[in-house]
Amino acid sequence: MRFSVPHPIPYQGSKRRLAVAILSHVRARHYSRLIEPFAGSAAVTLAAAEKGIFSSYVIGDVLGPLIHLWQAVIEDPSKIAEQYETLWLRERANPIEAYYEIRTEFNQDKDPAKLLYLLARCVKNAVRFNPSGEFNQSPDKRRKGTRPSTMKAELFAAHRLLKGKCRAVSTDFLPLIQQAQQDDFFYLDPPYQGTSEGRDLRYVAGVSRERMIEGLAILNDKRVPFVLSYDGYCGSRKYGEPLPDTVAHRILLDVGRSSQATLNGNHEVTLESLYVSHAIAGNRKYARRSLEDFAAQTGLFTLTT
């Protein structure tokens, strides 16, 4: 299936492929605003804007340079496109050395254009930060990242979808939840539990299971609908514990073989949990029927128990 939705900011774990499944739950009634508190690539926001599902959008993230990057995309992407091309061309003489130089510069000045370059050029487009808050992912030695002409086209395509309709804010997710209104719809895609706590920390700020449940309880009390991607499995590895049934309905999506496992010569399947709030579905049958319809139409995933 070909995607017509722009995807300017590459991000490992992007829900671009699952956006159709996530947005299938908006059919129950009309909501005027989509709020995505863990922006990343903002894949669901872009997919919804391309379909004209909402009249306005809010994307948030605690990573300030990422939000500054989205603000530039929304308001005027020309400068970011030019800066990206300049950074990309610095690789001509010595690609790996140039990457590490730009990474060091970003950790000092937090330039959003440099973050875009690093995300496009790093291993698996996987954002990684050390405990000191420094970007520490290595360059991908097998490819050069998105070409400047392609990146410019993607940036301007996203700009056309979001201009005048989207606000990007640098904030924790809880304030956005606390300000939720009746005609809002939330899509939440926090880091997997397994990468938010313990030894395998990868992001500027993780999200504890307790804080996530606290936020979802607020949305449930307000009867503001949400869809949440939170835990899952890859082969025998489990990422987090399922949320209680009292919080939301859980559906497992079989999203296919893990790309990392394939690179290692394995054939592990990835299962992702999709939680559907009680404000959307009064029972499990609705949530499952909705996804079954879209799974059959697209072939992008299958459901499992």
**pLDDT tens digits for range 296-305:** 555 544 555 4
Q: What is the pLDDT of residue 199?
A: 45
Q: What is the pLDDT of residue 157?
A: 97
**pLDDT tens digits for range 234-271:** 766 766 788 898 999 888 887 765 555 444 455 677 78
CATH superfamily of 19-62+171-304: Vaccinia Virus protein VP39 (3.40.50.150)
237-239/226-234 β-pairing: antiparallel
Mean pLDDT to the nearest integer, 6-23: 83
Q: Residue 106: phi, psi to the nearest 5?
A: -60, -40
Domain-by-domain residue ranges, the chain?
19-62+171-304, 74-152
Domains 19-62+171-304 and 74-152 are alike in CATH topology: no
- Give the separation between CA 77 and CA 156, rounded to whole angstroms: 6
Mean pLDDT to the nearest integer, 148-162: 97
**pLDDT tens digits for range 59-109:** 999 999 999 999 999 999 999 999 999 999 998 889 999 999 999 999 999
Q: What is the pLDDT of residue 142?
A: 86
The model carries a pTM of 0.84
C-alpha angle 55-58-62 in degrees, rounded to nearest 5: 170
Instruction: Write the class of the CATH domain 74-152.
Output: mainly alpha
Residue 124, classed as helix, strand or coil, is helix
Q: How far is CA 232 from CA 30, 71, 194, 207, in A?
A: 29, 31, 9, 15
